[in-house]
Copies of this chain bind each other. A is one copy, B any other.
Amino acid sequence: MKLSEGVEAAIHCAALLAGLAPGKTLPAAALAEYHGVSASYLVKHLNRLAAAGVLVSVPGPHGGYRLGRSAKRISLLDIVLAVEGPEPAFRCAEIRQRSPGALEPDAYQKPCGIKVAMLKAEQAWRQALRAERLADVIAGYEAEADPRALAFGCAFLQRHQRPGDAAAMSASPDPQ
């Protein structure tokens, strides 16, 4: 029962990227530096997030990463699933069929009750993650964090942000 460390970094990255001006991007190296994590590892998570549509990656000297849609429409579940993969945490290996008294496979049409119960509980977890939107997390952060930390974040963004792709601005006309 362990979430990979990358999930924490991924969420923090998304939260930071939400502060970018529309269309601008931030390179992976800057994200890694800001969070004090290995850049080569972070890139893997960023790519998965991009593949899932949570982020958009822009190649080239002006490139980097930015959010794929508004922070209001990104849930923590989107991020967790992108990084960890869609498979449920509980994987039923059908050990009920490995018994010495196992029947023919047809006798196990109905799903294993243990699997059903475990997956049902997991749905509750996913539902709760789905309800947590990135925008809300950021709002809470801005309300509670030390003003100096906030200011540093803004300055950092100003310093490292890249123009991104000009065409992208018109394609993502939903700020915040």
Contact = CB atoms under 8 A, between A and B. Distances in A.
- How many copies the complex holds: the figure is 2
Given A37-B98, A95-B8, A1 B146 contact: no
A28 interface: no
Q: Is the interface of A mostly helix, strand, loop or mixed?
A: helix
Contacts of A8: 90-93, 95, 114
Interface stretch (A46-54, A55-63, A122-130, A168-176): A122-130
A7 interface: yes
B114 A35 contact: no
A5 B116 CA distance: 16
Interface residues of A, number: 65
Nearest to A155: B101
A89 B1 contact: yes
A50 B169 CA distance: 60
Interface of A: 1-5, 7-9, 11-12, 15, 33-37, 76, 80, 84-85, 87, 89-93, 95-96, 98-103, 107-108, 110, 113-114, 116-118, 120-125, 127-129, 132, 136-137, 140-141, 144-146, 148-149, 152-153, 155-156
7 contacts: A8-B91, A11-B114, A12-B114, A35-B98, A37-B95, A108-B146, A117-B140
